[in-house]
Structure formats: structure tokens, C-alpha cells
Amino acid sequence: MSLFENDEYRWRETYFVLIEEGKRPSGKAVQDALAELGGRYQVGEPAVNEEGLVESLTVYSPDDNSAMDVTYLDGEEVIEQKTELADELKQSATSDEERKVLARLPSCNARLDVYHFEQVNYFGDEDEEEEFLDPGSLLIVLERLAELCGGIAIDPQTGSPLP
């Protein structure tokens, strides 16, 4: 079940990990890589295609009052987004790291969408809820997924790669 259908969680933001379609990991590889992060994370059973490659899975981080839905996507939407991102980076790339990312973008034709959710706190008001969400777990999961797939973690709101 997607966290979008769970009243205990509220969607906050979406990040991407751009990858090459040929480096799409198996569901087990994703599950194992995220489980290696330790007991702070609870990794759900992945949905996989007929070859065992990941389609989606959910990661919970109770200590951070958050969870993430991870889904695989390929096709025209990814290609269009990659082209837009490349155009933005061409204009703004100032560091060697950004130029390296720009050089890798043409080979990316798929992505992992990482939907970040906050666990709803029914005991406080809206302002207090903001204090509970720790983005640390999101950044750690993005880094691990990028390492696993040889991908590029992207903040789509800013169009910038994450370190």
C-alpha cells in the first residue's frame, strides 16, 4: 500500500535518483542496501516485475517521524525531465562536481522517485508538526540508492544534484 493511501502520513516532498535503465536494481538488492543502514529503518517488501527488478517499496524511519515510497519510472517523462535539468545545469554549473553530473546526464533514462512523507502528529498543532520532520533519513536513503544504482540524486525543486 502506498503511503499516499495511509492517513498516518502526509506527503511533503519528492526527490529523484536518475539512473541508467540497465542499472535498475533488483527488489532484493534495494531491500538489502537499505537494510544495511541499520535498525533506524524498516524496509518493506518490494514490489518487483517478472525479472525481479524493483517497481516500488516503502521505507519507514520511525525515529525521524518519516517514511518514503520509492518507485521506479522510465520512458518519455524521464527523458523530458533529464533534458530540462541538463539545460538548467548548463547555465548554472559552477563547480567541478556539477559539471561531472552534467556529463553523466545523457546516459540516464530512468529514475527512482522518492516520495518523502511525514508521520502525522495528532497531539499538536501544525507549527509543532513541522519540528518533527527530520530530512536526515531522506538524504541517507537518497545517497544509498544513488550508490547502489550508480545514479544521481536530484532535488527537483532546485534542479540541483545532491552531494
Pairing of strands 54-61, 66-74: antiparallel
Q: Which residues contact 72 (CB under 8 A, 6 or more apart)?
A: 24, 53, 54, 55, 56, 110, 111, 112, 113
- Set out the domains of the chain in order of their start, with CATH numbers: 3-161 (3.30.530)
Rounded distance between C-alpha atoms, residue 89 and residue 137, angstroms = 26
Work out the angle at residue 154's Cα, subtended by the Cα atoms of residues 148 and 158, and round it to the nearest 5 degrees: 170
pLDDT in tens, 59-112: 999 988 999 999 999 999 999 988 888 888 778 777 787 778 878 888 999 999
Share of the chain above pLDDT 70, in %: 92
